[in-house]
């Protein structure tokens, strides 16, 4: 129904009249003159609004031009929009097309503003912005980039993190690397340099980073040899292996640690021996040729003490995606004794080497740090609080240099070679990916189970020989005194106080036999 103002047809509606409208007027058309018509609308809350449109003809058809809604838009403004449309019509312009053009123009203006701001931010992007983007989209390492984050946030971001990327140069990187080397952490510097090089190489292939790297990869201009000490091995081609005498010396050191600690008048102040779990880890690395990181990730569900096997799932294996393979280790008598001793200590947890709360595995660098901290004469770094710093694990008087847990893996391979094990079998024991094409790896699928089992047996026997057979045979003797259920991986382990009555940990792990014969059924422990 069309309604007119109280003043009559051809007159204009007043604001007071519009305010007087009630919900009962819903749907009424209010004629305001000169083609302007308002439709009364009522919201869900009962409020009244008037939707105004201007009627005109275009192309012989009646067309509507929206002019606004009262009271959001004032009557004066609504009529002004109607008048503007009428002027446009006289000039031959469709007011709806003109509105669409203005909308597009406004949208384009907004987009230009947004693009301009984005361009400004891009042009002023900082080194930190590239790092964050690369961390999110360009790199994913096994530890979730935890080590990479620690390295950058400690040594690089504080120095140049907020510097514009286009201003970052080789001098900035070189200065940061030199500071790391000066505190005795050359290895950290080398790793950070290679990570930074990788990040910039990733950026060079992608916009907007490529545009900001006007002079290319700044890391490519750095000569790392001029930064690290002259005797530092940049290629990390370590050849350190432990000799037979050093393996025996290591066992003697463990023995001496225990003796000195027990003889100390005040054990609270006396230097503590290397933890039993850490010693066991070292012997397992030596007797299986495994990586220390793979060992510390081990779970009891993957260890079968009855079958003397340890399964390493592919997710625990070091290597890049598509270049890794699961691994099964056949435990020698020596290695099995170590796992049994470890199970007696940690069998209640899912992890072979649990963290302090038992909810996760031990940090993968823990054992390595413990070994390095006890070879202080080879370190130039500042001593850290709550860390052990001495030379108690230095072998051969230091003449052969520092040794690491990973050197035990190399030592194991070398011992296998000396025992007549073929390089192919040694590679299998170390879980090296088969060299050659993918086709070759696809068709040559022999598992070498029998060969690797024999190789590990020989290695374990050789270690027993070096240590005069104490480990395996003492473990067999002392463990036999435990309840049958304590030998099972799934069973609860006795309390440490109870364990001490059944298993003298010192003898199991470290005390060599006075004399030994491999087949002697009654070893003296």
What residues have CB less than 8 Å from 248, skipping those under 6 apart?
466, 467, 512
Span 205-224, average pLDDT: 87
Q: Does residue 471 surpass a pLDDT of 60?
A: no
Q: Does residue 510 surpass a pLDDT of 60?
A: no
The Cα 451–Cα 456 span in angstroms is 9
pLDDT at 382: 58
The Cα 299–Cα 290 span in angstroms is 15
Mean model confidence pLDDT for the chain: 82
Tens-digit pLDDT profile for residues 71-115: 999 999 999 999 898 888 888 888 888 888 888 888 887 777 666
Reading the block at residue 401, the tokens are 């240099």
What residues have CB less than 8 Å from 93, skipping those under 6 apart?
none
Has domain 2-92 been given CATH number 3.30.160.390? Answer: yes
- Please tell me which residue, 474 or 178, carries the higher pLDDT value: 178
Q: What is the CATH number of domain 244-509?
A: 1.10.443.10
Q: Does residue 514 surpass a pLDDT of 50?
A: no
Tens-digit pLDDT profile for residues 388-407: 788 899 999 999 889 999 99
Tens-digit pLDDT profile for residues 408-448: 999 999 999 999 999 999 999 999 876 654 545 554 556 78
pLDDT at 11: 84
pLDDT at 118: 60
Q: Does residue 52 surpass a pLDDT of 90?
A: yes
- Please tell me which residue, 348 or 120, carries the higher pLDDT value: 348
User: Of 401, 416, 395, 523, nearest to 469 (Cα)?
Assistant: 523
pLDDT at 442: 52
- Three-state secondary structure string covering 399-421: CCCCCCHHHHHHHHHHHHHHCCC
Q: Does residue 122 surpass a pLDDT of 70?
A: no
pLDDT at 320: 66
- Three-state secondary structure string covering 449-508: HHHHHHHHHHHHHHHHHHCCCHHHHHHHHHHCCCCHHHHCCCCCCCCHHHHHHHCCHHHH
Say if residue 208 is preceded by a cis peptide, omega within 30 of 0. yes
Q: Does residue 487 surpass a pLDDT of 50?
A: no
Q: How far is CA 464 from CA 243, 289, 332, 333, 454, in A?
A: 14, 15, 10, 9, 15
Burial code (b: 16+ CB inside 10 Å, e: under 16) for 118-157 equals: eeeeeeebbbbbbbebbeeebeeebeebeebeebbeebbb
Torsion of CA 479, 512, 294, 413, to 10 degrees: -130
Q: How far is CA 314 from CA 123, 142, 321, in A?
A: 43, 12, 10
Domain residue ranges in the chain: 2-92, 127-226, 244-509
pLDDT at 408: 96
pLDDT at 493: 31
pLDDT at 473: 42
Tens-digit pLDDT profile for residues 246-292: 999 999 999 999 899 888 888 888 888 999 999 999 999 999 999 99
Strand 36-42 to strand 48-58: parallel, antiparallel, or no bridges (unpaired)? antiparallel
Q: Does residue 40 surpass a pLDDT of 80?
A: yes
- Please tell me which residue, 219 or 234, carries the higher pLDDT value: 219
pLDDT at 519: 34
Span 119-135, average pLDDT: 83
Q: How confident is the model at residue 187 (pLDDT cuts 50, 70, 90)?
A: confident
pLDDT at 213: 86
Span 193-201, average pLDDT: 93
Say if residue 71 is preceded by a cis peptide, omega within 30 of 0. yes
Q: What percent of the chain lies above the pLDDT cut of 70?
A: 82
pLDDT at 384: 61
Assign domain 127-226 one CATH number from 3.30.465.10, 1.10.150.130, 1.10.150.20, 1.10.10.10.
Answer: 1.10.150.130
- Please tell me which residue, 70 or 142, carries the higher pLDDT value: 70
Angle at 335 between CA 333 and CA 339, to 5 degrees: 115
The Cα 27–Cα 52 span in angstroms is 12
The Cα 277–Cα 38 span in angstroms is 86
Q: Does residue 512 surpass a pLDDT of 90?
A: no
Q: What percent of the chain lies above the pLDDT cut of 90?
A: 46
State the pTM of this model. 0.60
DSSP string, 382-399: PPPTTS--S-TT--GGGT
The alpha carbon of 97 is separated from its chain's Cα centroid by a whole number of angstroms, namely 56
């Amino acid at each position: 129904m069309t309604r007119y103002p109280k003043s009559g047809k051809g007159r204009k509606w007043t604001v007071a009249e519009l305010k007087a409208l009630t919900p009962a007027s819903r749907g009424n058309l209010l004629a305001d003159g000169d083609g302007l018509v308002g439709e009364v609308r009522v919201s869900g809350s009962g409020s009244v609004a008037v939707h105004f449109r201007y009627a005109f003809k275009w192309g012989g058809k009646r067309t509507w031009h929206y002019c606004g809604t009262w009271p959001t838009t004032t009557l004066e403004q609504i009529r002004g929009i109607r008048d503007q449309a009428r002027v446009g019509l006289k000039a031959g312009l469709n007011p709806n097309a003109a509105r669409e053009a203005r909308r597009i123009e406004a949208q384009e203006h907004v987009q230009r503003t947004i693009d301009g701001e984005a361009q400004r931010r891009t042009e002023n992007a900082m080194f930190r912005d590239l790092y964050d983007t690369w961390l999110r989209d360009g790199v994913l390492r096994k530890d979730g980039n935890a080590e990479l984050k620690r390295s950058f946030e400690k040594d690089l971001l504080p120095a140049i993190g907020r510097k514009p990327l286009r201003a970052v140069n080789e001098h900035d990187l070189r200065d940061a690397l030199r500071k790391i080397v000066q505190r005795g952490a050359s290895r950290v510097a080398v790793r950070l340099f290679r990570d930074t090089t990788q990040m910039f190489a990733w950026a060079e292939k992608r916009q907007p980073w490529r545009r900001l790297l006007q002079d290319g990869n700044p890391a490519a201009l750095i000569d790392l040899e001029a930064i690290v000490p002259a005797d530092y091995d940049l290629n990390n081609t370590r050849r350190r292996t432990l000799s037979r005498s050093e393996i025996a010396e290591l066992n003697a050191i463990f023995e001496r640690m225990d003796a000195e600690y027990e003889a100390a008048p005040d054990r609270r102040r006396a230097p503590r021996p290397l933890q039993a779990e850490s010693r066991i880890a070292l012997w397992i690395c030596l007797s299986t040729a495994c990586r220390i990181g793979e060992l510390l990730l081990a779970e009891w569900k993957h260890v079968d003490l009855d079958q003397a096997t340890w399964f390493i799932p592919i997710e625990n294996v070091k290597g890049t995606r598509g270049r890794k393979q699961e691994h099964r280790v056949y435990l020698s008598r020596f290695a099995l004794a170590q796992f049994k001793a470890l199970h007696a200590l940690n069998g209640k947890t899912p992890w072979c080497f649990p963290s302090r709360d038992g909810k996760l595995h031990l940090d993968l660098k823990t054992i390595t740090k413990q070994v390095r901290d006890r070879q202080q004469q080879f370190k130039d770094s500042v001593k850290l609080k709550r860390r052990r710093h001495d030379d108690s694990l230095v072998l051969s008087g230091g003449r052969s240099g520092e040794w690491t847990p990973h050197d035990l893996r190399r030592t194991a391979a070398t011992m296998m070679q000396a025992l007549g094990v073929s390089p192919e079998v040694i590679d299998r024991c170390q879980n090296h990916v088969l060299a050659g094409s993918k086709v070759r790896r696809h068709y040559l699928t022999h598992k070498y189970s029998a060969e690797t089992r024999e190789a590990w047996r020989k290695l374990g026997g050789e270690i027993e020989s070096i240590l005069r057979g104490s480990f395996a045979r003492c473990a067999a003797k002392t463990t036999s005194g435990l309840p049958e259920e304590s030998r099972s991986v799934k069973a609860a382990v006795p309390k440490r106080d109870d364990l001490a009555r059944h298993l003298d940990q010192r003898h199991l792990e470290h005390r060599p036999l006075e004399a030994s014969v491999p087949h002697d059924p009654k070893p003296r422990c």
